[in-house]
């Protein structure tokens, strides 16, 4: 590790294998970032398994001055090497999953010849192994006093992380930016589908509140689940957000309303398809509409100003393209700095 006294944050970003070219390792960093190159169950566009690498590659081009937290980089940020074994397994199981998806799209049963139900079981078991891998590593880092963040992969990626957070926090909420509710029960038969991450998260009793912002592509079952959740799930649908803004309500007013639903401890789950697709056009399932990047940062900033504490974050569904990686890296850096700022304020 470079001596911090010798490090110039205004200098050229070094290609040193770490996010933003920062001079930290696992021991010296306060924030440990895990990349999960997994997108086995995606049913539209592929490529998000390469999202962690795209973000890493783009990150060293960012300038480190942050308007919210100018010296936020000093907290120490370290990204663990992206596991190539998981990426290789992803490529193998992605091909198997494509056969299942194709069968279902043809309106046929998995039990038709050849029977694909054993393949489905194998995929579900492989996904569970990834969840367990992430759970163990996040828990180890948390037990060492580290903060943790996750970069997907598709949105199924952070489930093991949520499970690790649930061992430390008995009551926390998720602030969820997404075009989709991800509340489907084992979508297409995949227990750990990218479309099922929040359905699976809701199985954790420690998650007392899920507040979803930007939803605009949603099925009847998901709306019913939200409506019958006894306010455990709060949805801010994109068309309704736009209507309120067009009617004269300010975004700041909406931000404070959204934040008012959340408990003291908050995890931020950021699916980049919650943004206007111009920002991450190669995401897995782009949807017209959505949020501007600074809108989301304004929301997160107000979350910090409210006195609530950001306990973690994940950034998922970044596509396999340079521009998407650039935007994804900026999201990661902003969230890292706001999380550090929120934890500083709550300890004062």
Give CATH for domain 4-347. 3.40.800.10
Indicate whether 43 pLDDT > 80: no
The pLDDT-based confidence of 346 (bands split at 50, 70, 90) is: low
The pLDDT-based confidence of 46 (bands split at 50, 70, 90) is: confident
What are the start-end ranges of the E strands in the chain?
31-36, 77-79, 147-152, 172-177, 207-215, 233-237, 265-271, 309-316
In terms of pTM, does the model score above 0.85? Answer: yes
The pLDDT-based confidence of 345 (bands split at 50, 70, 90) is: confident
CA nearest to 269, candidates 347, 324, 335, 325 = 335
* Residue 2: per-residue pLDDT: 54
Beta carbons within 8 Å of 334's beta carbon, 6+ residues apart: 66, 68, 297, 300
> Measured between alpha carbons, how far is 214 from 155 in angstroms, rounded to an integer?
15
Residue with tokens 């006294």: 5
Q: Note the pLDDT tens digit of each residue in 275-318.
A: 999 999 999 999 999 999 999 999 999 999 999 999 999 999 99
Indicate whether 267 pLDDT > 60: yes
- pLDDT, greater one: 111 or 137: 137
Q: Note the pLDDT tens digit of each residue in 192-207.
A: 999 999 999 999 999 9
The residues spanned by each domain of the chain are: 4-347
Rounded to an integer, the average pLDDT of 213-230 is: 98
């Amino acid at each position: 590790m470079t001596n911090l006294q010798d490090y110039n944050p205004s200098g050229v970003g070094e290609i040193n294998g770490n996010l933003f070219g920062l001079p930290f390792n696992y021991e010296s960093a306060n924030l440990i970032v895990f990349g999960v190159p997994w997108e086995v169950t995606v049913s539209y566009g592929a490529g998000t398994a390469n999202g962690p690498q795209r973000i890493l590659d783009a990150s060293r081009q960012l300038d480190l001055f942050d308007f919210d937290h100018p010296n936020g980089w000093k907290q120490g940020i370290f990204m663990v090497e992206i596991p190539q074994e998981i990426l290789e397994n992803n490529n193998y199981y992605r091909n198997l999953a494509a056969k299942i998806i194709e069968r279902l799209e043809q309106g046929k049963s998995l039990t038709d010849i050849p029977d694909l139900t054993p393949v489905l079981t194998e995929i579900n078991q492989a996904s569970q192994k990834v969840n367990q891998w992430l759970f163990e590593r996040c828990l180890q880092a948390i037990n060492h006093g580290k903060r943790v963040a996750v970069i997907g992969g598709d949105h199924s990626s952070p489930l093991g992380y949520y499970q690790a957070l649930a061992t430390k926090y008995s009551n926390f909420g998720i602030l969820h930016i997404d075009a989709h509710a991800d509340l489907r029960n084992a979508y297409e038969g995949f227990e750990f589908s990218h479309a099922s991450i929040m359905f699976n998260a809701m199985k954790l009793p420690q998650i007392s509140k899920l507040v979803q912002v930007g939803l605009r592509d949603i099925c009847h079952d998901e709306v019913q689940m939200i409506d019958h959740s006894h306010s455990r799930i709060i949805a801010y649908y994109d068309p309704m957000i736009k209507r309120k803004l067009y009617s004269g309500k300010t975004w700041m007013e909406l931000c404070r309303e959204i934040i008012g639903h959340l408990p003291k401890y908050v995890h931020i789950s950021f699916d980049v398809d919650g943004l206007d697709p111009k920002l991450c056009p190669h995401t897995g399932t782009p949807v017209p509409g959505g949020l501007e990047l600074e809108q989301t940062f304004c929301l997160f900033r107000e979350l910090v100003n409210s006195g609530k504490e950001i306990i973690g974050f994940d950034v998922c569904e970044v596509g396999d393209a340079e521009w998407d990686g650039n935007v994804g890296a900026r999201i990661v850096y902003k969230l890292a700095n706001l999380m550090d700022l929120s934890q500083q304020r709550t300890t004062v």
